[in-house]
């Protein structure tokens, strides 16, 4: 069935160039959680476990524009340079004005544009942000192309992550929605694709992008967004519209949920994907499900991540793993090792 059962890992060192120092959370400035060191830890784990790190090819921006507003995509390459020209290098490149409800027109002033295309303070632009965002997307696209060419599975070490990025705006550490880019790429070969999000936070960007699509089933496991970030989207009654009706599934967890609770929710998601008849799978892979993650809300341990990998691999589908969250907690490398090596062993 598969031409190649070896699992490649894709990563580009330019993804480390996005280096935000601070952001505002609950009204206070604090150190930014999404640091380059996250990717370095995951990269070093991969090397230690015998993965050859494959540099992505350059596939351009058309695959990104296929899921994002082209105006948003065109805004990002020069946004930091334009901000510095206006505000200087000491200012934090975050939006300070927002249009509220989505009416009106995009302004021409950089400060107005930041508010138009960026939802919160968690995606500050830095000198290396555009390169990192671009190569994060190319990493995801290259992993998708590997699976399209016949690989059983591929792992995209994407950083910055992507699953909070909506069609026309950044959100929650994310700029381009890498997982949605991958899912859309896979539809060129597979009639039905599923995207399951096992990051602890709602895949709100993916929900936004895929909500009216009938060819991509989306499932997200996360705590109730009424009381846990990213808020707003991810409620149980949000099941899709139009051609996408019934193709979105939000499975809500209690804050503090046990590992067994998470695995039971995963089984529910796998069942729904099987009922959908998916021919290929994308996994938004977040290690912030860990009990000791700095943004922890549930209690998953390395053996739980390994079991998640076994259950997803047992679906037998061509699969792209796309890295999302998982921050600088003590067990980050152990959790990543448990999931990714288990998935590799189960699919070779």
236 three-state secondary structure: coil
Helices 129-148 & 70-87 angle (0-180, nearest 10): 160
Which residue spans within the chain are E strands per DSSP? 8-10, 22-25, 28-31, 53-54, 153-156, 193-197, 216-223, 248-253, 280-285, 319-323
Q: Of 32, 68, 163, 164, which residue is the catalytic one? A: 164
Strand partners, 93: 125
Termini Cα distance of the chain: 12
Helix and strand numbers, DSSP H then E, in the chain: 10, 10
164 tagged catalytic:
yes
Helix (H, G, I), strand (E, B) or coil at 4: strand
Say whether the peptide bond before residue 230 is cis (omega within 30 degrees of 0): yes
d(CA 321, CA 300): 18
In 3D, which of 218, 209, 288, 293 has the Cα closest to residue 248?
218
Among residues 155, 308, 283, the alpha carbon closest in space to that of 220 is found at 283
What's the rounded Cα separation, in Å, for the pair 1 and 268?
Answer: 26
Q: Which residue has the tokens 């993650």?
A: 293
How many CA within 13 A on the CB side of residue 297?
Answer: 24
Interacting residues of 180 by C-beta distance below 8 A, sequence separation 6+: 67, 162, 195, 205, 206, 209, 210
Q: Which of 264, 266, 269, 161 is nearest to 219 (CA)?
A: 269
Q: Count Cα neighbours of 182 within 13 Å in the Cβ-side half-sphere.
A: 38
Q: Looking at the annotation, which residues are catalytic?
A: 164
């Amino acid at each position: 069935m598969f031409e190649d059962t070896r699992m490649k890992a894709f990563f580009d060192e330019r993804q480390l160039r996005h280096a935000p120092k601070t952001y505002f959370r609950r009204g206070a400035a604090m150190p930014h959680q999404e640091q380059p060191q996250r990717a370095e830890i995951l990269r070093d784990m991969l090397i230690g476990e015998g993965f050859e790190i494959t540099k992505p090819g350059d596939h351009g921006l058309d695959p990104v524009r296929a899921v994002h507003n082209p105006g948003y995509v065109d805004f990002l390459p020069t946004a930091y340079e334009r901000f510095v020209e206006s505000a200087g290098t000491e200012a934090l490149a975050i939006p300070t004005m927002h249009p509220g409800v989505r009416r009106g027109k995009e302004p021409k002033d950089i400060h107005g544009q930041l508010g138009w295309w960026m939802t919160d303070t968690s995606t500050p632009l830095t000198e290396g942000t555009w390169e990192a965002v671009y190569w994060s997307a190319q990493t995801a696209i290259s992993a998708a192309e590997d699976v399209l060419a016949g690989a059983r599975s591929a792992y995209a070490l994407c950083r910055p992550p992507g699953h909070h990025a909506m069609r026309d705006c950044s959100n929650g550490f994310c700029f381009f929605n890498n997982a949605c880019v991958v899912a859309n790429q896979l539809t060129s070969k597979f009639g039905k694709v599923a995207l399951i999000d096992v990051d602890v936070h709602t895949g709100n960007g993916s929900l936004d992008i895929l909500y009216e699509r009938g060819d991509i089933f989306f499932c997200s496991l996360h705590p109730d967004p009424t009381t846990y970030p990213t808020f707003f989207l991810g409620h149980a009654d949000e099941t899709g519209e139009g051609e996408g009706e019934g193709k979105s599934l939000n499975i809500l967890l209690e804050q503090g949920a046990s590992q067994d609770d998470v695995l039971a929710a995963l089984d529910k998601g796998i069942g729904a994907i099987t009922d959908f008849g998916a021919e290929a799978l994308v996994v938004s892979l977040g290690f912030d499900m860990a009990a000791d993650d700095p943004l922890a809300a549930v209690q998953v341990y390395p053996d739980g991540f390994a079991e998640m990998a076994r259950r997803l691999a047992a679906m037998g589908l061509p699969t792209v793993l796309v890295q999302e969250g998982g921050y600088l907690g003590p067990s980050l490398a152990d959790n990543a090792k448990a999931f990714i090596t288990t998935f590799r062993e189960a699919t070779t």
